[in-house]
Amino acid sequence: MLRTIIVDDEQPSLKRLSRILSESGEIEVCQTFQNPLMAYEYVRENPVDVAFLDISMPEVHGMNLSRQIHELYPAMDIVFVTGYEEYALQAFDINATDYILKPVSAERVRQALDKIQRRPVRPQAEPMLEVYMFGGFKLVHPGPDRRPLKLRSPKTEELFAFLLYKRSVSRDEIMDTLWSGFDSDKASNNLNSNLYYIRKAISDSGLKVCLLAGRNEVQIVENSLSCDLYVFEQVLREIRLGGDGRKERLKQAAAWYTGPFLKGKTYEWAGTKARRLEQDYMELLELAARLFLEQHEVEQALQAYEQILLTDALREDIAVHVLRLLIGLGRTSEAIRRYRKLEEVLLQELGTQPGAPIRELMHHLIR
């Protein structure tokens, strides 16, 4: 199910839209806000797929809030809800998914949700650069030898990684992030030089250049490359939409997540995104485990739970599931070993012991 927030400074409008969305049965209203600044802080820390935004609000205009949200998560759907029809063209100019006039009706909201669900995956061109951002950062030529594509310097590599992460970003933000200690002219020269190096490395490999550099903004042309991050986020979106084949998409998403986002890189700007993706990945594994158990596929459920513990060994709630499944399968010796390992990790990392539910579960096995 898709997750949404609603932002509107008028309480009656906020309540009406929240009720209509909740009654649709297809979208989860995670939070509502009358303060757009609070909405932005919430989005920074919580997974959201769709934002319904009023346009005319104090403090932060809805159009500006939309741009700020898209800077964080370019793939998020934005639906504007307002009483002013003259904003329609502006809304679509900034890539809004839809535009709803007040007073909001259930039928018009249904049309917006249908549009969100029908949004197609962008077509891809061939051949294209392959980009891998999970477990590190790797660029691969799609030819038969699958040779790596090398960039000129670590800074050129960081710039390309930043552009891939942002998808569309202003030149000012790039310079503030990557060359914050430089004066504006030197930062601009560095940006232009490194953009040239990226273009040259790609074109010299016989691939289509995937950058559009304008006067104020730099964009990634997504259909000119293959990126594991983009595929993962698209599959995640499909899973939240629900429908048939959910289990297979869960397996697909888990396969694309091959390690932490940009693992081994010390880019300060990547930390929040890495934590968000890790959270998404573990939520997918939990959902997969529940689906496997519903279909009595115990071994696969166990593997999903174990994968979570490989990422976060301190998750006692997951450890309980693992121990119960092992005991149910008659693998008591392994359950005891896992329990001892958990005791060791908790003592070492937190100075604590396993909680009462786990101790009670293991009491009859440990003498």
Task: Give me the pLDDT at residue 120, please.
Answer: 57
pLDDT band at 110 (very low <50, low <70, confident <90, very high): very high
Residue 237 covered by a domain: yes
Range of the domain at 23: 2-118
Same domain, 102 and 245: no
Task: Give me the pLDDT at residue 89, please.
Answer: 47
Check pLDDT > 80 for residue 32: yes
Task: Give me the pLDDT at residue 345, please.
Answer: 93
Check pLDDT > 60 for residue 63: yes
Same domain, 217 and 183: yes
Same domain, 132 and 271: yes
Q: What average pLDDT does the structure give for the chain? A: 88
Same domain, 74 and 165: no
Phi, psi at 328, each rounded to 5°: -65, -30
| Averaged pLDDT, 44-68 | 79
Task: Give me the pLDDT at residue 37, please.
Answer: 84
**pLDDT tens-digit profile of 68-86?**
787 677 778 999 888 766 5
- Of the listed ranges 141-145, 222-226, 276-280, the least confidently predicted one is 141-145
Same domain, 270 and 130: yes
Task: Give me the pLDDT at residue 124, please.
Answer: 41
Give the residue from 213, 132, 124, 210 showing the smallest Cα distance to 170: 213
Given a contact cutoff of 8 angstroms between Cβ atoms, the answer to whether 206 and 252 are in contact is no
Same domain, 183 and 266: yes
DSSP type of residue 205 = T
| Averaged pLDDT, 49-74 | 78
**Domain harbouring 188, CATH code:** 1.10.10.10
**pLDDT tens-digit profile of 163-173?**
999 999 999 99
**pLDDT tens-digit profile of 286-310?**
999 999 999 899 998 999 899 899 8
Task: Give me the pLDDT at residue 75, please.
Answer: 75
**pLDDT tens-digit profile of 137-156?**
999 998 777 899 999 999 99
Task: Give me the pLDDT at residue 325, please.
Answer: 94
Same domain, 145 and 34: no
Task: Give me the pLDDT at residue 122, please.
Answer: 42
Same domain, 71 and 43: yes
Two tokens, residue 30: 């995670």
Same domain, 51 and 135: no
Residue 109 covered by a domain: yes
Task: Give me the pLDDT at residue 61, please.
Answer: 65
User: Greater confidence, 125 or 115?
Assistant: 115
Residue 88 covered by a domain: yes
Same domain, 66 and 187: no
Amino acid at 69: I
Q: Which of 276, 299, 317 is the last residue of a domain?
A: 276
Task: Give me the pLDDT at residue 119, please.
Answer: 66
Same domain, 163 and 178: yes
- The domain total for the chain is 2
**Domain harbouring 19, CATH code:** 3.40.50.2300
Q: How many residues does the chain have?
A: 367
Residue 234 covered by a domain: yes
Helices (H), ranges, the chain? 11-24, 36-45, 62-72, 88-93, 106-118, 154-166, 171-178, 184-204, 228-241, 246-256, 271-294, 298-311, 316-328, 332-350, 356-363
| Averaged pLDDT, 205-214 | 87
Q: Which of 103, 118, 133 is the last residue of a domain?
A: 118
